Structure 1
Amino acid sequence: MIQQIHPHTELGHVKLKVSNLERSISFYRGVIGLQLLKRNDKTAEFTADGMHPLLLIEEIPNAVVLPERSAAGLYHFAILLPNRKELGLTLKNLLSSHIEIGQGDHLVSEALYLSDPDQNGIEIYRDRPREGWNRDDEGNYVMGTEPVDIAGLLEEAGDREWKGLPPETKIGHVHFHVRDLREAKDFYHSVLGFGIAGDYRFMSALFVSAGGYHHHIGLNVWAGQGAPFAPAEAAGMAYYTVLLPNQAELENTIYKLKSSGHAPRRKEGAWFVKDPASGVDIRLAVK
Structure 2
Amino acid sequence: MTATAATTRPVPTEALDAPVHIGAVSLRVRDLPGLTAFYRDAIGLSLIGEGPGEAVLGVAGLPLVRLEAGAQAPSSAAGLFHLALLLPSRGDLANWLAHAARQRVPLEGASNHLVSEALYLSDPEGNGIEIYRDRSRPEWPRLDGGSIKMATERLDLEALLREADGRDYPGMPEGTAMGHVHLRVGDVAAAEAFYRDALGFEVMVHYPGASFMATGGYHHHIAANVWHSRGAGPRHADEAGLSRFELVARDDEAYAGLRRRMLAAGGTEAEGTPAIADPWGNRVVLRR
**TM-score relative to the length of structure 2:** 0.89
Alpha-carbon deviation of 1:138? 5.9
Q: How does 1:118-157 map to 2 (within 5 A)?
A: 118-137=125-144, 139-157=146-164
1:75 to 81, 84, 89: 81
Q: How many residues align?
A: 271
2:110 equivalent in structure 1: 103
Pairing 1:17–2:22 present? no
Partner Cα distance (2:138, 2:281) in 1: 35
Residues 1:64 and 2:76 aligned together: no
Q: Which residue of 2 aligns with 1:53?
A: 63
The residue matched to 1:239 in structure 2 has which SS? strand
Say whether residues 1:219 and 2:216 are aligned partners. Answer: no
Change (3 A) 1:32 1:110: same
Which of 197, 203, 209 matches 1:204? 209
What does the per-residue CA deviation read over 1:139-191, in whole Å, with 9 as the maximum and x for residues that have no partner?
54211111112112111113222111001000000000111111111111122
Q: CA deviation at 1:285?
A: 1.1
Q: Given residue 159 of structure 1, which amino acid in structure 2 is its aligned partner?
A: G
Query: What is aligned with 1:163?
Result: 170
Q: Which residue in 1 is equivalent to 2:44?
A: 33
Whether the 8 Å contact between 1:140 and 1:199 is mirrored in structure 2 is: no
Structure 2 CA distance for aligned equivalents of residues 269 and 122 of structure 1: 30
**For residue 156 of structure 1, what is the amino acid of its counterpart?**
E
Q: Is the contact made by 1:120 and 1:235 (CA closer than 8 Å) also made in structure 2? A: no
1:103 positional shift: 1.0
**2-structure distance, mates of 1:171, 1:270:** 20
Instruction: Give the structure 1 partner of residue 54 of structure 2.
Output: 43
Q: Secondary structure at the match of 1:273?
A: strand
**What is the identity, as a one-letter code, of the residue corresponding to 1:123?**
E
Gaps (5+ residues) in structure 2?
1-16
SS at match of 1:279: coil
User: Residue by residue, what CA displacement relative to the aligned partner does 1:68-116 show, whole Å, maximum 9, x if unpaired?
Assistant: xx51111001000000111011111111222320211111111011111
Asked if the contact 2:82–2:181 (Cα under 8 Å) also holds between the matched residues in 1, the reply is yes
Tell me what 2:4 maps to.
none
Query: How far has the Cα of 1:258 moved from its partner?
Result: 3.3
Does 2:187 correspond to 1:177?
Answer: no
In 2, distance between residues paired with 1:191 and 1:206?
15
SS of the residue 2:154 aligns to = coil
% identical equivalent positions: 38
Task: Report the Cα distance in structure 1 between the residues aligned to 2:54 and 2:199, rounded to whole angstroms.
Answer: 30
Cα distance in 2 for partners of 1:159, 1:256 equals 48
3-state DSSP of counterpart to 1:157: coil
Please say if residues 115 and 150 of structure 2, whose CA atoms lie closer than 8 Å, have aligned partners that are also in contact.
yes
* Aligned AA (2:62): H
Are the aligned partners of 2:81 and 2:128 in contact in 1 as well (CA < 8 Å)? yes
Q: Is it true that 1:271 corresponds to 2:282 in the alignment? A: no
- SS of the equivalent of 1:26 reads helix
Q: Return the match for 2:262 from 254, 257, 260.
A: 257
Cross-structure match for 2:93: 87
Q: Would you say the 8 A contact 2:18–2:218 is kept in 1?
A: no
Match of 1:280 in 2: 282
